[in-house]
């Protein structure tokens, strides 16, 4: 009985390898075509006079407790804090007169578009619209961040226009990087305090890296308020005959 001859199967290895190479090449080409261009770096003019650190205050400047936030407009965690917790903090703590809230610029090098956003907000502050710009910039973070565009100014200008700013004045401020020194001074002040991540909260003399929820912050403020009341000297007793 004769055996049927079996033809050896041809290896598909070389063919599959070729397909893989072509696919990788095509993917690389697509990435090169679609990835955003590297944004233009924003640097400080070395001839400019040093600026003083100056945060943006919300609430009564004479409030007994200060809540300072060091934040990066492009930081996702900062955006989450601004959208989810800051409105409740303003209502329950700041508007109630228990504390004031101060925002300090802390743009991180890992977020190339952050500096443009900080400039946009600072230029809005010239027209009394810092907090309006602050809220709008964080809400629109996915539209102007480094993953979305290499030209953040286009989106930020749209935000400024929606906020009702005088665009001629805003553009002049932004293009001349008028508040770059203050932004750098705010960041340097935070670094001297030991801030190395965003968001970071300073409540009184206590630092909270990673921020706090509105409920957690309310507990901290209530505790500090109670401690201050307990430490306050008792009112002097009236003199005899009064």
Domain residue extents for the chain:
64-226
Sign of the four-CA dihedral 73, 75, 77, 83: positive
State residue 182's pLDDT score: 95
In terms of CATH architecture, what is 64-226?
3-Layer(aba) Sandwich (3.40)
State residue 50's pLDDT score: 58
For the chain of 242 residues, list the mean pLDDT of each consecutive stretch of 10. 40 43 38 37 48 91 96 97 96 97 97 98 98 98 97 98 98 96 95 93 90 92 92 71 62
* 24 DSSP 8-state letter: H
Side-by-side strand order, sheet with 100-105? 56-58, 100-105, 66-71, 200-203, 206-209
State residue 16's pLDDT score: 39
């Amino acid at each position: 009985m004769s055996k049927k001859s079996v033809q050896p199967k041809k290896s598909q290895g070389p063919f599959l390898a070729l397909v893989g190479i072509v696919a990788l090449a095509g993917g690389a080409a697509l990435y090169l075509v679609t990835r955003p261009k590297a944004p233009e770096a924003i640097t400080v003019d070395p001839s400019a006079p040093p600026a003083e650190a100056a945060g943006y205050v919300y609430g009564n400047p004479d409030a007994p407790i200060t809540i300072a936030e060091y934040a990066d407009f492009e930081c996702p965690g900062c955006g989450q804090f601004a959208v989810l917790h800051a409105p409740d903090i303003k209502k329950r703590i700041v508007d109630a007169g228990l504390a004031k809230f101060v925002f300090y610029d802390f743009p991180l090098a890992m977020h190339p578009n952050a500096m443009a956003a900080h400039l946009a907000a600072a230029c809005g502050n010239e027209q009394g619209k810092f907090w309006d710009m602050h809220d709008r910039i964080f809400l629109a973070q996915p539209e102007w961040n480094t993953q979305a565009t290499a030209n953040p100014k286009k989106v930020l200008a749209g935000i400024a226009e929606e906020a009702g700013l005088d665009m001629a004045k805003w553009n002049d401020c932004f293009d001349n990087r008028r508040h770059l020194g203050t932004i750098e001074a705010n960041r340097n002040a935070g670094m001297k305090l030991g801030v190395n991540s965003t968001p970071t909260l300073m409540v009184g003399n206590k630092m909270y890296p990673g921020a706090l929820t509105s409920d957690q912050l309310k507990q901290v403020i209530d505790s500090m308020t109670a401690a201050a009341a307990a430490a306050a000297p008792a009112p002097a007793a009236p003199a005899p005959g009064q």
